[in-house]
A and B are shown apart, each in its own frame.
Chain A
């Protein structure tokens, strides 16, 4: 599932070619959509790289994973307000945690990119002592795998990635805006309400509608 490798094989479009300049234009316009075949796992699939690290401590897999994710984690941290030194350091640490905890990664529950997102998020919360976000690694109930991944976990995971992307593409632009501010700019709802000049109740109801819709579309995957 996940991520990067999957983007190439699923969408037939590389990350670099996505319309991402500046702000989140790509998000406003929806996710790129495809009727992909989600078959291939392996050579370019980050979930498989993590599995290799867990199984054989593969340094090659680590290099692949680092090369793909460290620069994106760095981008994420920069956008969240970290300075360049901190962003560089936390991107390093994020990938170090991936190496150490590879064995608890469960591709049946989350994509590699989702798992790595939660690691980076938690490290940032611990490191960047801004009062708005302090949620720590040990708060994270999701790090514990609940069950063994079935053998076809990778395929399931790839399908899920695809479905999540499709579902996001199906939201209205109003809903996407609220989801975007909530997540991607990490604003509390009161600030979103100020930013958009909308009553707080409207922000909440839009988010609720968006999530209801996403949950309906994705219920079987979660």
Chain B
């Protein structure tokens, strides 16, 4: 089943050109892995980048650049990172983008809920984490202090009118409050990245927020 909720062209363009921060880029990667249509669009943006590269006026390399390069290619290459699928918490098959990343310890924040942080490569104000919610349960009504990107990795999510299943992508900005919840008989796991944290709208989330660290 292919995803039905996609990143905008603008987001894919930012991804392809390298303008997305680490967290959003992870979330978009996880979507791309499951979405041939968005991979195509991304390839197109990359093709534009390639055309541009090729048309750039060359800047001379240093005099010893080529001899250095020829020496370097003779050295043995470091062993490639294994690209075997890696399992995360609860046997979750991690998206390839996450396979080489450290996943922090799970914090069990309420019955059936946990959060596992994905440390960013850069201190850039984005917090990225895996969130598990039990069937029929979700995150209490909240807003955001900045953008939030989400991709579903297991189960299904009901968010407002939208039904999100495996690989579906969503983005919310600071003007949008919501109350997403796991839909159907199974728990859900999402990869979420957000800028600036949540704005809790109710007492329960306000109480939990320090524990959640989001």
Q: How many A-B residue pairs have CB under 8 A?
A: 223
Within 8 A of A (CB), among B1-46: 8-10, 13-22, 25-26, 29, 32-33, 39-46
Which interface class (under 10, 10 to 19, 20 to 34, 35 or more) fits A? 35 or more
Within A129-168, the residues touching B (CB, 8 Å) are 129, 131-136, 138-142, 144, 160-161, 164-165, 168
Are B48 and A75 neighbours in the complex by a CB distance under 8 Å? no
Q: Assess the A211–B13 pair: CB atoms within 8 A.
A: yes
- Check if B69 is an interface residue, CB within 8 A of chain A: yes
Q: Does A48 contact B (CB under 8 A)?
A: no
Across the interface, do A70 and B69 meet the contact criterion of CB distance under 8 Å?
Answer: yes
Are A138's CB and B96's CB within 8 A? Answer: yes
- Given the complex, which residues of B lie within 8 Å of A75, measured CB to CB? 56-59
Which of B105-113, B115-123, B202-210 is near enough to bind chain A? B115-123
**Partner pick for B69 among A87, A95, A135, A164, CB 8 A cutoff:** A95
- Which of A139, A207, A211, A222 contacts B25 (CB under 8 A)? A139
Q: How far is the CA of A135 from the CA of B72 in the complex (A)?
A: 25
Contact residues, A92-136 vs B (CB, 8 A): 92, 95-96, 99-100, 109-118, 120-122, 124-126, 129, 131-136
Residue of A62, A113, A160, A164 with most chain B CB atoms under a 10 A cut-off: A113
Interface residues of A (CB under 8 A from B): 2-4, 7, 15-16, 18, 20-21, 24, 26-27, 31, 59, 62-63, 66-67, 69-76, 78-79, 87-88, 91-92, 95-96, 99-100, 109-118, 120-122, 124-126, 129, 131-136, 138-142, 144, 160-161, 164-165, 168, 179, 182-184, 186-189, 203-204, 207-208, 211-212, 214-215, 218, 222
Report B's interface with A, CB cutoff 8 A: 8-10, 13-22, 25-26, 29, 32-33, 39-62, 65-66, 68-70, 72-73, 77, 81, 83, 96-97, 99-101, 120-125
A-B contact list, 7 entries, CB within 8 Å: A92-B72, A113-B54, A117-B49, A133-B21, A141-B39, A164-B44, A214-B44
